[in-house]
């Protein structure tokens, strides 16, 4: 039997430096009998030579479109918005299962070409827990940026936007930068910020709390909320009484909003920074319906419109926050994904991939006929 060929595509999302495969996991897959083709990439945090050194074959950027149908395409973020049908099995985050804007067009490309989407966001074990996620590093990066934005607000005119950000070579470099900003902000405010993290017991929330601690926020200034604290239903005054709100909740159904425009109108509001790590900007399930624009590394924040009084509120809604620490985030994610990747040679009979295929079929069944006819 011919070996299974995995094709790691180059990411096309601007400033996306992470990778679903790393040289370490690529070496493990090759040792297990897989052929791994790696597209050359100008953005990936790992050099092409690192993959070549462990036995991968380097292929041209964007060549996945023309490879045989039997090759499995491995990626991270969503594909570029194009119309041609997709014939391969794709392993990636597609962001089209929660009724995001344009989801029908994204999803319909797969059945139109006879392809399959195995969405990494919904790759779960028998208990329903995700087998691999970037949550920890998303929360870590989001909380770090939120502290920097808070300090920027205190030390710059309101008309000066928070500047663009770029990936850091490692966690130490990021934390050093945040500590410097926090010291400046705390001096201007005469105090340390109060930060509320909702979802603090999960992967994402744990990362956020870890970043806050390493940056130097006092423990008593970190409100760590989870299901017990939110059970009564929002909006919550504890959010508007805090300087920073970091939302680390992942939702697939609607719950009462944690915060909304009405709750922001209170006269004693302190809140000025919201980091919505989930960044489900267009999802009807968002518990943070105070903005409609996804932000980017180039423009990390968006203001909340319609506030009658109180400080301006800046929202961070970057949907690839872990790319702020691309090497560490990729290594952790790919390590956790590896056991599942090692079963791709018989993915139809692998429980974890079979669950992902079942969900794909269910979502395809909801597509309008018009999306399938393009």
> Cis peptide before 113, with omega less than 30 degrees from 0?
no
Longest dimension (CA), the chain: 70
321 annotated to a ligand binding site: yes
304 annotated to a ligand binding site: no
90 annotated to a ligand binding site: no
- Calculate the CA dihedral of residues 338, 340, 346, 348 and round it to 10 degrees: -150
Strand order in the sheet with 5-8: 57-59, 35-39, 5-8, 72-74, 89-92, 116-119
In contact, 314 and 324? CB cutoff 8 Å: no
Determine whether 98 is an active site residue.
no
CA dist 121 and 92 (Å) reads 8
Tokens standing for residue 1: 């039997």
Q: Which long-range contacts (CB under 8 A, 24 or more apart) does 343-348 make?
A: 344/4, 344/6, 344/34, 344/72, 344/91, 345/3, 345/4, 345/33, 345/34, 347/72, 347/89, 347/118
Determine whether 95 is an active site residue.
yes
Tokens standing for residue 96: 């089209």
Pick the catalytic residue from 77, 98, 137, 224. 77
194 annotated to a ligand binding site: no
CA contacts within 13 A on the Cβ side of 269 = 24
202 annotated to a ligand binding site: yes
In contact, 174 and 181? CB cutoff 8 Å: no
109 annotated to a ligand binding site: no
226 annotated to a ligand binding site: yes
318 annotated to a ligand binding site: yes
Pick the catalytic residue from 7, 95, 98, 363. 95
CA dist 220 and 11 (Å) reads 41
CA dist 50 and 40 (Å) reads 11
Residues with a known catalytic role: 77, 95
Q: Which residue ranges make up the annotated binding site for NAD(+)?
A: 129, 202-203, 226, 230, 250, 277, 318-321
Q: Which residue ranges make up the annotated binding site?
A: 129, 202-203, 226, 230, 250, 277, 318-321
């Amino acid at each position: 039997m011919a070996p299974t060929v995995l094709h790691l595509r180059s990411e096309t999302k601007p400033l996306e430096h992470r990778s679903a495969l790393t040289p370490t996991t690529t070496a493990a897959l090759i040792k297990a009998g897989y052929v791994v083709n790696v597209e050359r990439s100008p953005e990936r945090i790992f050099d092409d030579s690192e993959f070549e050194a462990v036995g991968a074959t380097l292929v041209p950027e964007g060549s996945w479109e023309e490879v045989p149908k039997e090759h499995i395409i491995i990626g991270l973020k969503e594909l570029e918005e194009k119309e041609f049908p997709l014939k391969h099995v794709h392993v990636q985050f597609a962001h089209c299962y929660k009724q995001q804007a344009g989801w029908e067009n994204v999803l319909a490309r797969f059945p139109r070409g006879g392809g399959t989407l195995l969405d990494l966001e919904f790759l779960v074990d028998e208990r329903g827990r995700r087998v691999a996620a970037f949550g920890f590093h998303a929360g870590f990066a989001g909380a770090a940026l939120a502290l920097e934005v808070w300090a920027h607000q205190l030390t710059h005119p309101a008309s000066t936007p928070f500047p663009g950000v770029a990936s850091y070579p490692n966690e130490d470099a990021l934390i050093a930068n945040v500590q410097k900003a926090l010291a400046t902000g705390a001096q201007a405010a005469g105090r340390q910020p109060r930060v509320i993290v909702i979802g603090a017991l999960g992967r994402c929330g744990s990362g956020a709390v870890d970043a806050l601690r390493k940056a130097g926020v006092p423990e008593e200034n970190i409100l760590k909320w989870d299901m017990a604290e939110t059970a009564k239903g929002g909006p919550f005054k504890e959010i508007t009484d805090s300087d920073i709100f970091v939302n680390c909740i992942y939702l697939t159904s609607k719950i009462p909003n944690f915060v909304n425009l009405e709750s922001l109108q209170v006269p004693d509001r302190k809140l000025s920074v919201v980091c919505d790590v989930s960044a489900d900007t267009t999802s009807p399930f968002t518990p943070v319906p105070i903005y409609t624009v996804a932000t980017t590394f180039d423009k990390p924040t968006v203001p909340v419109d319609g506030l009658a009084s109180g400080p301006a509120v800046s929202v961070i809604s970057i949907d690839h926050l872990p790319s702020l620490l691309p090497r560490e985030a990729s290594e952790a994610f790919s390590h956790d994904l590896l056991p599942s990747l090692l079963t791709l040679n018989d993915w139809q009979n692998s429980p974890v991939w079979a669950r992902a295929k079942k969900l794909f079929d269910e979502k395809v069944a909801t597509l309008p006929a018009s999306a399938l006819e393009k």
